Chain A
């Protein structure tokens, strides 16, 4: 179970398991976590559990709530977060979700709209403005690379390869794709009867890894691949 550890000057003062619907944090004695510091407001912040998350909310405190050095109003607590309260530190520990991304299997839970899922049953006009972004992409690092146009009207132009894919050539005729992956860049034929060439050699139907300095020919374009 997740817990909060209150400390000051390196010594632990109090531990509190997050097993309630709401955990109050502040100077007043009725809080679950009492922080006896003049810089802390009577009712300073609260922590609300939702699903697997614990959400920290500042309650309009006089001096603000800081997590890992940054002032926050509302914050989804992450394993190891340190909430600073005057001269006290409140550390959030939740080993269950300490992985870079939650590996929990899919589980069923009651929605916040109640049993009918909010949208009602039956025909459902699905289009929604609510966008839930993908998970924070772990610590994946992609090498930086670019292509330099060697011939033609655009000769000398340099294009950074800053997306997952970039297409080269002409659609419907001769098209190739450059793919950015953690371990390098790859070229693959997409469509058309003629395959792209790397250093004068046809890549055929295979995917080929690129080395910095490689010369790529697709359709009428001649390009050089350059990687940091």
Chain B
């Protein structure tokens, strides 16, 4: 890529209460890759799970993107996201079975890969992906969490969800079983779109309205925006590790060649 099409920043913080940071992040603006994971498991195994998953997914997607950048032909970032998540799942699951100290470890995952004026999203668990377009922040993922199920099924009112103690209970995670099905999603991307990946340490403590205000107000200074998000979570208690990745799309980024991936998926845009 001759000129940067996306600006990215990432920040991870242990928070105000916990001793260890079990979140992991990785970003690469060159290949348009962002990966965030929030580990779980005792005796710091969560750290191992989130790091392993982040590294495997990040490196695999990055090398595939480089490969596809050099070769003509068709490329599906969604497929790369899916396959790299499954590969990470196998690796984490095998490590957990091979080492008693890692038993039961797992991690959430949130992945965004930008390619050909579109983004491929993948996630498992309660880490989130938001998009700010214009002045509106929209959640693009649905949490695999008991609390969300409860609200969606009307068992508890959304307004009462703040009183629930089920916040930390996720219904799906990477590394727990032999196989895993990530949620995959593709979106067309416009210049000036801002994508936010975060661990629940952010959205559990900072309302969406405040996240929207901070990102919208500080979008011209992404490091400051990331710092403000983390700081707001800590000022509101900081009960969990808190991680954010923010990507701001600077200009269109069509794939070289005629029929790119997005051209096929979002042909109506052309």
Contact = CB atoms under 8 A, between A and B. Distances in A.
Given A52-B169, A109-B170, A127-B140, A190 B162 contact: no
Interface string B128-157: 000000000011111111111111110111
18 contacts: A104-B165, A105-B40, A106-B38, A106-B40, A107-B40, A110-B171, A112-B171, A126-B141, A127-B138, A132-B158, A133-B161, A138-B236, A138-B237, A165-B228, A166-B217, A172-B220, A179-B228, A190-B221
A51 B163 contact: no
A175 B78 CA distance: 38
Contacts of B139: 126-128, 131
Nearest to A192: B220
Interface residues of B, number: 73
Name the residue among A51, A52, A103, A171 with the largest chain B CB count within 10 angstroms.
A51
Interface string A88-105: 000000000100111111
A126 B121 contact: yes
Interface of B: 17, 38, 40, 42, 46, 78, 106, 108, 121, 126, 138-153, 155-173, 176, 181, 183-186, 200, 203-208, 210, 213-214, 217-218, 220-221, 224, 228, 231-232, 235-237, 239
Contacts of B153: 112
Contact of B142 (A109, A110, A124, A166): A124
Interface string A33-50: 000000000000000001
A104 B204 CA distance: 13
Secondary structure call for the B interface: mixed
Contacts, number: 203
Contact of B231 (A105, A113, A134, A181): A181
Contacts of B121: 126
Contacts of A175: 220
Interface residues of A, number: 61
A53 B169 CA distance: 11
Contact of B146 (A112, A123, A138): A112
Contacts of B157: 74
Interface in A63-120: 74-76, 78, 97, 100-113, 116-119
B158 A131 contact: yes
Given A55-B156, A140-B237, A181-B235, A165 B169 contact: no
A102 B168 contact: yes
A191 B221 contact: yes
